[in-house]
Structures are given as C-alpha cells and as structure tokens.
Structure 1
Amino acid sequence: MKQQVWYFANAANMVSSSKYPRKHVIIYFSRILLRVTLFLLGLMIMSYGIVLIVEANLGAAPWDVMHLGIVRHWGFTFGRTRQMVGIIIIVGSCFVLRKWPSIGIIANMLLVGEFCNYIINWHLTPDIISLTSQITAFASGLFIWGLGTGIYIQSQLGAGPRDLLMLALHHVTGISIRWVRTLIEITTVLVGISLGGPFSWGTLVFSVTIGHTTELGMKLAKKWFGKVTG
C-alpha cells in the first residue's frame, strides 16, 4: 500500500514541481502506465488459467472447490462468488491487521471475478469433449495461471486477498507463513467438499504444482519486463 501511494504521490509532485525535466516526468509516467498494463494483463491471463482448470472438470483449485460449492447452493456466478468471498477476506484481514487494503488487492478481487465471468459467458475457452482435452486444458491452465500470476506480481502493484488473509492469520496466531498457508488451503477444501464443490485428484495435483508454475511465471516475467519495471 505504501509503495503504491508513493508512486502516485511522487507522480503528482513531479507534475506540480518545475525542478523535474519534462523528459523525466514522461519516463516516470510511462513506467507507471507499464506497471498498470502488466497488472491488468497478468490478471487477465491468470483468470483464463483459472477458468480452464474449472472447465477441465478434473478437480478445481482449493479455493475454487469452495467457490463452486457456494455457486451450487446459492446460484451466484463463479466470478461474483470469488468477489464476494474476496470482500469478506479483505474486510476481516484489514480489521485484524489494522490497515487499509491496497489498491492492488481491491483491483485484484474485483477484476479477476469480472474477467472469469467474461471468459465463461463469452465462451473463450476451447470445447472440452474428451479425457485428453480435459487433461490438456488442466495442464494448460496450470501453466497459464502461473504465468499470469508472475506477470501481475512483476508489476509490483499488490497481491491478492488470500495473501492478505495469510498475513492476518500469521499476525494473530504467530504460526509460520508456510503452515498458515497450508491450514488455509486444507480448511478451504474441506468447506468446499462439504458444500459439494468439485474436489478430485486435480485438486491435489494443483496444490503441489501451482507453486512451481508460479515460480516459472515470475522468472519469465522478470526476464521479459524486469528492465522496465525496475
């Protein structure tokens, strides 16, 4: 949050001050625009990966097991459910941490839900009609999700609501981050299963591989955009 406020406060200062050469101001604003573009691009790519895994129907990601369980009972769209859960997480986590949410966290929560709905409603994914196409969609979704995550992280404009929840629980319990994250994922899956969410072997595969595809995505994003994002 402080970093994002600093970006925009510094930009306003550069515009109002005469001590900065026009060329420097243009370069600075270009970098901000690039960061925002990368942030949006990363979220769009990640959302496509999310939908591919859901539509592969081999077992959703842990949080999406719960999201789809909620969809099954209350009839909200998938994207809207992600947004509502995200709002609850942000409000609760910020209350615990006694801090305001960053612009990036709010944008992440809102935009990923909208992008997922658009991808589903506009039928932007290929037809999945066989086990081979299911496995292909699932594997592609894993890579695309990780790549999108790496790109939006490279923008340095903030992470997602679930990362904020992880920090809040770590702050309250004192339990290490890795165990807090593990407990969150297990609890989420159990709630999702109780709601009838699509838990299967794909959920387990996702859990042990998404870290690797995200790391790959971060390396690729840094290689492609590191020089211009700093």
Structure 2
Amino acid sequence: MKNRLIIGLFYLIGLVLLSFGISMIILAGLGAGPWDALFVALSVNIGLTVGSWTFIVGFLLIIVNGLLLKTKPDFAALITMFLIGSMVDFWLLVAFPELAIASVMIRLAMLITGVLSAAAGISCYLQSNFARNPIDHSMMVFHKLTGKSLSFSKTFLEVTILIVAFFIGGPIGLGTVLVAFGIGPLIQMFYKPVTMFRKSLCHETAS
C-alpha cells in the first residue's frame, strides 16, 4: 500500500510539473514544443482550448498505440490526458491569464524553466505504469518496436510533429527547436536518478 501511494505521488507530481512546463513554454512566446504548437494551432484555427485538444489528440493516439502494439487500447490513459489538459488550461486561463512579458531574458528564463519542468515531470510520472500520457507512451512504443534509446525515440517523434505543426500555422520558434532536440536527452538524464530515488523510497533492489 505504501509503495502504491509513493508511485501515485510520483504520477501526480509528474503531471503537475509537466503541465506547468508546457504552460511556461507557451507563455514564453518563443515558440512552443512541437505537440503544444500543434494544439495551439488547432485551438486558434478550429476553436476549443489548448487543453481540450490535448485530450482529443491523446484519445486518437491511444487508438494508434494500441494498434501498433496489437493490444487493447489503454483507455485508462484518458484519465491522464484529462488531468494534463485540465492542468494546462488552469495554468494558461486561471493562474496566468493574459500574461505578457516584454523582457526577452525573462521569456528565455521561462522557456528554459518550462523545458526542464516538462522533462522532469515526464520522468516522474513514467515511474507509474498507470494511464501513461499517450504522447509519451508513443515514445515508449517507438522505443520498444525499434530498440532505439528513449532520447532518440522522443526526438524523432518531436521532429515529426514539428513539421506537421509548422504547416498548420503553429507557434514555431526557438522554443520549438529546444523542445524538439532537448526534451529527449533531458528525459534520459532525469529518468535514471528519478527511478533510483523512487526505488529507494519503495525499498526496491536497484537493477
């Protein structure tokens, strides 16, 4: 029971860090991450909130991930997508509504903070096998099917979505490039120490 609570905390803290990071990247106004640029573009061009598109696209990815692994789609992941989408909308629409920062240095600091927060958040909530974000589950699926590293898998998928976001008018810029090429290595960097910390709390034997 104690271990489940610990893993549950990693899951929730991870989602909070991830949603905060996503929001900081968007609010920095220096270009959103590929997936978030896609969601922002869909929000601007079609309507609905960024969080709503996070949920909708996540639902579609759940189907695709299930087909690729030839398993039953993990519809429990809708819980994760709902939480992430709701948290992103909270940060953007409630916590920091209409936030406009003129200083480029402050915006750059927000961008870097956002990228680090998102990577740490992903590394935290991946400690749980419960209801993984289908975006990050896609990284794990690609990793499993190709044998490539988590870093390569994440970067490859980010660049692919970057191209799609560019063609539909997503906010592309420095932040997009930083996320596309930096988030994978950062996850790789955070994942091992976070896993070791989680195992120490759960009194698991390191493998």
Shorter-chain TM-score: what band? 0.7 to 0.9
- 1:63 and 2:15 are equivalent in the alignment: no
* Secondary structure in 2 matching 1:154: coil
Counterpart residue type for residue 53 of structure 2: T
Paired position in structure 2 for 1:217? 190
Cα offsets for 1:85-140 (capped at 9, x unmatched): 00011123213433123476333222111110111122258763311111010011
* C-alpha contact 1:35 1:156 (8 A) present in aligned 2: no
Paired position in structure 2 for 1:188? 161
* C-alpha contact 1:69 1:193 (8 A) present in aligned 2: no
Counterpart residue type for residue 99 of structure 1: T
CA distance in 2 between partners of 1:148 and 1:124 (Å): 20
- 1:227 and 2:205 are equivalent in the alignment: no
Distance 1:102 1:210, change over 3 A: same
Between 79-88 and 196-205, the greater mean CA deviation after superposition: 196-205
- Largest Rg, 1 or 2: 1
- 1:84 and 2:69 are equivalent in the alignment: no
| Structure 2: gaps of 5 or more residues | none
CA shift for structure 1 position 170? 7.9
TM-score, structure 2 length as denominator?
Answer: 0.82
What value does the CA root-mean-square deviation take over the aligned residues?
2.7
CA distance in 2 between partners of 1:122 and 1:196 (Å): 25
Paired position in structure 1 for 2:133? 160
TM-score, structure 1 length as denominator?
Answer: 0.75
- 1:203 and 2:189 are equivalent in the alignment: no
Distance 1:45 1:63, change over 3 A: same
* C-alpha contact 2:7 2:198 (8 A) present in aligned 1: no
Paired position in structure 2 for 1:106? 78
Paired position in structure 2 for 1:139? 112
Aligned residues: 200
Distance 1:182 1:45, change over 3 A: closer
CA shift for structure 1 position 152? 1.0
* C-alpha contact 1:58 1:201 (8 A) present in aligned 2: yes
CA distance in 2 between partners of 1:180 and 1:222 (Å): 19
* C-alpha contact 2:66 2:74 (8 A) present in aligned 1: no
